[in-house]
């Protein structure tokens, strides 16, 4: 077996294709909890035209784990050392899922060694998104079913896997994919998920100088469409390809189509769309379409849009048609709000999250009634389409979800992790003044409280960053304004009052300074009386 000693481990790799020919080299990076055996037919299709190297990441497959804590820097250096020892000086990186994080970071760290990036199925990880939900609640149950010896261990989860894959539950490639994923040591998997939980992938992609092709399946429901669309505005040299009749596992579902676009992209020498030759975004799009025009137009079936407003007021529309009544009955509002954040789940999980104090059997019996009521509310008002699908204990939303609160959380998250000071300042200035702390006011479930706490913590820290930044620019009154915003969340913290008073003192606004000194005295007196 081919192994190379790198950074204290033996790294497993495979080389495919004829190296004696002057072929471009592709290095393939699998996703978390996977290994180099999951690429399926894509390898054979690529090695016809390219020299291919695939390997198992540290702590994956046949590669060693080592004693060091796994970090991005270590994983990047592993790849550098392996390609150096194999004499692969300049390559095309092809990465899937969470491997796209590593490929992007490696390209930023070693730009001279990467000709282009090809990223399959950009992932999205947050505590309230489907990937996190699957990993926390569904994959452990799958693992138990698999380890019990059930050869058809995916059948009962097939509805949960819609949007993740179009392959049948008993498809050999899908079974192998999940056997590899579920056999991964859970502590390594959990650590790697934590690395990506607060990723700044889009921000990092905006710094890439080489051509990038991003591919997704048209049926991929595991990543927000905005993540894919935002790439066209952030990347300097973008090519965006949507594979028909494919989802998250597009390279297994449509390997020939995937290989075709990879070959087209590289054989066209990864066209770099330069600003000096293209003056507008529309010209860029037209050139991409000219070079990468599919041979056939495949019509896409319209998916109804479920528009859920959770900021300021609760309002629901299906394809722009309001669904006004019925939300105050049988926990419909609570259930839909939960499903907005967890569109694929199980009845047991819903009961645990929304009705934890009830006996399990009683909760499940009640939930059946509640879900039937919600199912009627979500029937499409003009066509015979159901918004919910129930199958063997699973519950899944069939519409495309649009939610103002989820969109806001993504904007907050991008601002929170933005590294460029000027960009972060502009984002915060627009966001924070318009932000309302009235989030999910009528939802008191534990999961909703976690969401609110997460948002409030990030918004509070953004206000504090803005206040300090303004103070460093001698904008003391503006700094005081952002410190005041912090009191919406931390009204009993004395040091915030001190900072506000200090800012007004610096700006020589003695009237405001005295006003806030009085406020501080009143607050401290109340805290002393309450015993806090």
Give the CATH number, domain containing residue 503: 1.25.40
Q: What is the pLDDT of residue 186?
A: 66
* Full strand arrangement of the beta sheet holding 315-318: 321-322, 315-318, 305-309, 400-403
Q: What is the rounded CA–CA span in Å between residue 447 and residue 354?
A: 8
Banded pLDDT at 523 (limits 50, 70, 90) = confident
Statement to judge: residues 284 and 310 lie in one domain:
no
Statement to judge: residues 211 and 65 lie in one domain:
yes
Mean pLDDT of 440-469: 88
Q: What is the rounded CA–CA span in Å between residue 321 and residue 344?
A: 24
Handedness of CA 71, 75, 77, 78 (dihedral sign): positive
Statement to judge: residues 443 and 468 lie in one domain:
yes
Query: In this model, does residue 480 exceed pLDDT 70?
Result: yes
Q: What is the rounded CA–CA span in Å between residue 100 and residue 80?
A: 16
Q: What is the rounded CA–CA span in Å between residue 248 and residue 97?
A: 8
Structure tokens at 336: 């839909």
Q: Is 163 among the domain residues?
A: no
Q: Is 177 among the domain residues?
A: no
Please tell me which residue, 532 or 318, carries the higher pLDDT value.
318
Query: In this model, does residue 278 exceed pLDDT 80?
Result: no
Structure tokens at 256: 């020939």
Q: Chain-centre distance of CA 164, in angstroms?
A: 14
Report which listed range, 86-90, 300-304, 438-442, is most confident.
86-90
Least confident of 113-127, 291-305, 404-418, 468-482: 291-305
Q: What is the pLDDT of residue 358?
A: 92
Q: What is the rounded CA–CA span in Å between residue 384 and residue 382?
A: 7
Mean pLDDT of 162-169: 84
Statement to judge: residues 104 and 209 lie in one domain:
yes
pLDDT tens profile 321-380: 999 899 999 999 999 999 998 887 888 889 989 999 999 899 999 999 999 999 999 999
- Of the chain, the percentage scoring pLDDT greater than 90 comes to 41
Q: What is the rounded CA–CA span in Å between residue 309 and residue 234?
A: 28
Please tell me which residue, 184 or 456, carries the higher pLDDT value.
456
Last residue of a domain, which of 368, 401, 434?
401
Q: What is the pLDDT of residue 411?
A: 81
- b/e per residue 196-227 (b: at least 16 CB within 10 A): beebbbbbbbbebebbbbbbbbebbbbbbeeb
Query: In this model, does residue 277 exceed pLDDT 50?
Result: no
Banded pLDDT at 293 (limits 50, 70, 90) = very low
Q: What's the mean per-residue pLDDT of the chain? A: 83
Banded pLDDT at 269 (limits 50, 70, 90) = low
Contact (Cβ atoms closer than 8 angstroms) between residue 146 and residue 153: yes
Report which listed range, 154-163, 176-185, 227-236, is most confident.
176-185
Banded pLDDT at 26 (limits 50, 70, 90) = very high
Q: Is 359 among the domain residues?
A: yes
Question: Hey, what's the torsion of the CAs at 212, 217, 219, 221, to 10 degrees?
Answer: -50
Mean pLDDT of 206-212: 87
Least confident of 164-173, 175-184, 213-222, 465-474: 213-222
List CB contacts of 198: < 8 A, sequence separation 6 or more.
Answer: 413, 417
Statement to judge: residues 24 and 59 lie in one domain:
yes
Q: Is 356 among the domain residues?
A: yes
Statement to judge: residues 212 and 74 lie in one domain:
yes
Banded pLDDT at 392 (limits 50, 70, 90) = low
Query: In this model, does residue 195 exceed pLDDT 50?
Result: yes
Q: What is the pLDDT of residue 58?
A: 93
Last residue of a domain, which of 237, 267, 291?
291
Structure tokens at 71: 């970090």
Banded pLDDT at 437 (limits 50, 70, 90) = low
Q: What is the CA radius of gyration of the chain?
A: 26
Q: Is 190 among the domain residues?
A: no
Q: What is the CATH number of the domain that holds 389?
A: 1.10.10.10
Mean pLDDT of 286-307: 51
Query: In this model, does residue 124 exceed pLDDT 70?
Result: no
In a 10 Å sphere around its CB, with 0-12 CB exposed, 13-18 middle and 19+ buried, how is residue 259 labelled?
buried
Tokens 């190379």 found at? 4
Statement to judge: residues 104 and 211 lie in one domain:
yes
Query: In this model, does residue 287 exceed pLDDT 50?
Result: no
Statement to judge: residues 11 and 102 lie in one domain:
yes
Q: Is 151 among the domain residues?
A: no
Tell which residue, 139, 95, 102, has the closest CA to residue 118. 95
Tell which residue, 166, 332, 188, has the closest CA to residue 254. 166
Q: What is the pLDDT of residue 217?
A: 87
Query: In this model, does residue 89 exceed pLDDT 70?
Result: yes
Does the reported pTM lie above 0.85? no
- Which residues partner with 213 through β-bridges? 118, 239
Statement to judge: residues 319 and 448 lie in one domain:
no
Statement to judge: residues 314 and 267 lie in one domain:
no
Structure tokens at 4: 């190379």
Q: What is the pLDDT of residue 291?
A: 34
Q: What is the pLDDT of residue 234?
A: 61
Report which listed range, 33-42, 125-134, 188-197, 440-449, is most confident.
33-42
Banded pLDDT at 294 (limits 50, 70, 90) = very low
pLDDT tens profile 125-146: 554 455 555 666 677 778 888 8
Handedness of CA 37, 143, 243, 283 (dihedral sign): negative
Q: Is 118 among the domain residues?
A: yes
Tell which residue, 23, 226, 202, 224, has the closest CA to residue 119. 202
Contact (Cβ atoms closer than 8 angstroms) between residue 194 and residue 126: no
Q: Is 191 among the domain residues?
A: no
Q: What is the rounded CA–CA span in Å between residue 76 and residue 314?
A: 45
Three-class DSSP category at 39: coil
Statement to judge: residues 359 and 211 lie in one domain:
no
Q: What is the pLDDT of residue 270?
A: 60
Do you know the residue count of the chain?
A: 532
Contact (Cβ atoms closer than 8 angstroms) between residue 249 and residue 167: yes
Statement to judge: residues 386 and 430 lie in one domain:
no
Please tell me which residue, 93 or 198, carries the higher pLDDT value.
93
Range(s) of the domain holding residue 326? 305-401
Q: What is the CATH number of the domain that holds 222?
A: 3.40.50.1820
Three-class DSSP category at 401: strand
Q: What is the rounded CA–CA span in Å between residue 339 and residue 323?
A: 16
Q: What is the pLDDT of residue 152?
A: 85
Query: In this model, does residue 308 exceed pLDDT 70?
Result: yes
- 81 Rama class: left (phi>0) / alpha (psi -120 to 50) / beta: alpha
Q: What is the pLDDT of residue 136?
A: 61
Q: What is the pLDDT of residue 134?
A: 62
Q: What is the rounded CA–CA span in Å between residue 337 and residue 56?
A: 40
Q: What is the pLDDT of residue 298?
A: 36
List of long-range contacts for 483-488, beta carbons under 8 Å, 24+ apart:
485/432, 485/459, 486/460, 488/437
Distances (CA, A) of 188 to 7, 174, 195: 18, 22, 11
Tell me how many domains the chain contains: 3
Q: What is the pLDDT of residue 337?
A: 94
Handedness of CA 75, 79, 85, 86 (dihedral sign): positive
Query: In this model, does residue 224 exceed pLDDT 50?
Result: yes
Banded pLDDT at 284 (limits 50, 70, 90) = very low
């Amino acid at each position: 077996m081919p192994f190379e000693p790198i950074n204290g481990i033996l790294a497993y790799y495979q080389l495919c294709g004829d190296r004696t020919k002057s072929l471009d080299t592709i290095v393939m990076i699998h996703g978390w909890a996977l290994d180099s055996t999951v690429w399926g037919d894509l390898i054979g299709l690529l090695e016809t035209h390219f020299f291919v190297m695939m390997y198992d990441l540290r702590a994956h497959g046949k590669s060693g784990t080592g004693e060091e804590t796994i970090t991005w820097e270590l994983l990047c250096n592993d790849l550098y050392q392996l390609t150096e020892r194999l004499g692969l000086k300049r390559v095309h990186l092809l990465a899937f899922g969470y491997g796209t994080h590593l490929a992007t970071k490696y390209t930023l760290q070693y730009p001279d060694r990467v000709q282009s990036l090809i990223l399959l199925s950009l992932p999205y990880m947050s505590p309230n998104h489907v990937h996190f939900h699957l990993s926390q609640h569904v994959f452990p149950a799958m693992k138990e079913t698999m380890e019990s010896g059930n050869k058809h261990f995916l059948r009962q989860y097939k509805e949960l896997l819609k949007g993740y894959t179009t392959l049948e539950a008993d498809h050999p490639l899908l079974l192998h994919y999940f056997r590899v994923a579920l056999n991964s040591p859970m502590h390594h998997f959990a650590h790697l998920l934590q690395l990506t939980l607060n990723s700044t992938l889009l921000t990092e992609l905006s710094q890439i100088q080489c051509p990038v092709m991003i591919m997704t399946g048209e049926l991929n429901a595991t990543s927000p469409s905005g993540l894919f669309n935002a790439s066209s505005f952030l990347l300097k040299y973008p090519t965006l390809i949507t594979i028909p009749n494919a989802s998250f596992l597009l390279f297994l579902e449509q390997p020939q189509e995937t290989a075709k676009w990879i070959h087209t992209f590289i054989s066209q020498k990864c066209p770099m769309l330069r600003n000096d030759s293209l003056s507008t975004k529309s010209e860029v799009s037209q050139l991409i379409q000219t070079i990468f025009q599919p041979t056939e137009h495949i019509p896409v079936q319209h998916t109804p849009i479920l528009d859920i407003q959770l900021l300021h007021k609760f309002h629901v529309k299906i394809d722009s048609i309001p669904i006004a009544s019925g939300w105050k009955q049988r926990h419909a509002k609570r259930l839909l709000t939960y499903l907005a954040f967890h569109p694929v789940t199980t009845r047991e999980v819903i009961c645990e999250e929304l009705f934890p104090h009830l006996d399990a059997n009683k909760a499940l019996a009640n939930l059946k009634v509640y879900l039937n009521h919600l199912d009627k509310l979500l029937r499409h008002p003009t066509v015979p389409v159901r918004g919910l699908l129930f199958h063997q204990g699973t519950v899944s939303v069939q519409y495309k979800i649009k939610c103002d609160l989820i969109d806001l959380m993504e904007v907050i998250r991008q601002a929170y992790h933005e590294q460029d000071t000027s960009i972060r300042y502009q984002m915060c200035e627009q966001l924070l003044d318009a932000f309302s702390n009235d989030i999910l006011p009528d939802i008191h479930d534990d999961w909703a409280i976690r969401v609110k706490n997460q948002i409030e913590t990030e918004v509070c820290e953004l206000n504090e960053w803005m206040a300090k930044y303004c103070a460093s620019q001698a904008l003391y009154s503006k700094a005081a304004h952002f410190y005041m915003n912090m009191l919406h969340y931390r009204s009993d913290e004395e040091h915030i009052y001190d900072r506000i008073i200090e800012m007004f003192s610096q700006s020589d606004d003695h009237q405001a300074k005295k006003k806030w000194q009085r406020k501080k005295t009143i607050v401290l007196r109340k805290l002393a009386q309450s015993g806090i």
